[in-house]
Amino acid sequence: MHRPDLAIAAHDGQALPTDTCPADSPLAVRGLTVSYGEKPAVFSVDATFPARAMSAIIGPNGAGKSTFLKAALGVVPRLSGEVRVFGTPIEKARDRIAYVPQRASVDWDFPATVLDVVQMGLYRRVGLLGRMSGRMRALALDCLGRVGMADFAHRQIGQLSGGQQQRVFLARALAQDADLYLLDEPFAGVDAATERAIIDVLKGLRDAGKSVVAVHHDLSTVRGYFDHAFLINVRRMAEGPVETAFTAETLHATYGGRLATTQIDEVMLSGGAA
């Protein structure tokens, strides 16, 4: 799907015109390097995500996709580089960002109900000591309704299927009422119906003027779901509108030998139909 009205549609995927972060981008990084040990997980990466668009972060396992998101959020410290969220440092933009971590990163046996988890998304508005008012509760319930989980509000989170857990995480992000949504593999391990429900919510956000950036593994749906693609394997491999950045060549470069040429051809053919 092509959206000609993207705010920053001009990048051709290779050269970036500026070496400072543009202020009109919801998320831009320059020279981002993150390392857990000797070897960097993300090395000298530049990226500029467009406003009011759906962007995909694509790359093989261990490519540094989650690390990239966490560094952008200040969850892991960066070794060097600059991160700008709506043109400001992340600390000043926390109210405008919603984050959905990888589902497997938390312990779902934690003693909490679905509503408890969604209310965590209201933290920035309620504060450390503020009271969770009836209005806030209603807001959380409304977010659950938007992902089709209203009936599960009082269920313990461990008693949900993987797809339902993913929806609860999405509802928590909706409760944050942000302008930029960062999602780490929102479609991991969900069935077709849930994937449909999630993509509808995300596209609804975009159509309401929000920006969505999601780590995405299913190459066959990239063209159907996303406007902008960012390919990473430790370094930035390609970036730009899906039509120009998401190609057989860039996939070869990003996945190396991990994808056979026939698989890539399949992706390129199936993409148009989605």
Partner 1 sequence: MGAEFVQFSLTPILIGMFAAIACALPGNFLILRRQALIGDAISHVVLPGIVVAFLLTGTVAAIPMMIGAAAAAIVAVILIEAVRRLGRIEPGAAMGVVFTTLFAAGVLLLEQSDTSAVHLDVEHALMGNLESLIWLRATGWESLLDPAALAALPPELGRMAVVCALIVALTAIFWRWLKIATFDEGFAQALGIPAAGLGFGLVVTAAIAAVAAFDAVGSIIVIAMFICPPAAARLMTNRLEVQVLWSVAFAALSAVLGYVLAGYGPLWFGAANAVSAAGMIATVSGVILGLACLYAPHRARIGAAREDA
Ligand X SMILES: Nc1ncnc2c1ncn2[C@@H]1O[C@H](COP(=O)(O)OP(=O)(O)OP(=O)(O)O)[C@@H](O)[C@H]1O
Q: What is the dihedral of CA 257, 234, 245, 88, to 10 degrees?
A: 170
Q: What are the backbone dihedrals phi and psi of residue 28, each rounded to the nearest 5 degrees, phi first?
A: -135, 140
Binding track, positions 107-136, relative to ligand X; x by CB under 6 A: ------------------------------
Cβ 221 vs Cβ 56: under 8 Å: no
Binding track, positions 38-67, relative to Mg ion; x by CB under 5 A: ----------------------------x-
Provide the residue type at 153 as one letter: A
In the complex, the smallest distance separating the C-beta of residue 74 from partner 1, rounded to whole angstroms, is: 7
- Using CB atoms, what's the residue nearest to Mg ion? 66
Cβ 28 vs Cβ 48: under 8 Å: yes
**CA 60/CA 175 separation, integer angstroms:** 31
Tell which positions 132-191 bind partner 1, by CB under 8 A: 156, 158, 160-162, 165, 172, 189
* Using rule CB under 8 A, residue 109 touches partner 1: yes
**CA 29/CA 46 separation, integer angstroms:** 5
- Within 8 A by CB and 6+ apart from 105, the residues are 184
In the complex, the smallest distance separating the C-beta of residue 76 from partner 1, rounded to whole angstroms, is: 9
Q: How far is CA 236 from the centre of its chain?
A: 16
Q: How far is CA 25 from the centre of its chain?
A: 15
Query: Among 48, 55, 66, 221, which residue sits at the site for ligand X (rule: CB under 6 A)?
Result: 66
Nearer to ligand X, 34 or 85 (CB): 34
Binding track, positions 100-129, relative to Mg ion; x by CB under 5 A: ------------------------------
Instruction: Tell me, by CB under 8 A, how many residues bind partner 1.
Output: 37
Cβ 255 vs Cβ 268: under 8 Å: no
Please choose, out of 1-9, 61-69, 165-173, 255-263, the segment that lies near ligand X by the rule CB under 6 A.
Answer: 61-69
The site for ligand X (CB under 6 A) is made up of 36, 41, 59, 61-67
The site for Mg ion (CB under 5 A) is made up of 66
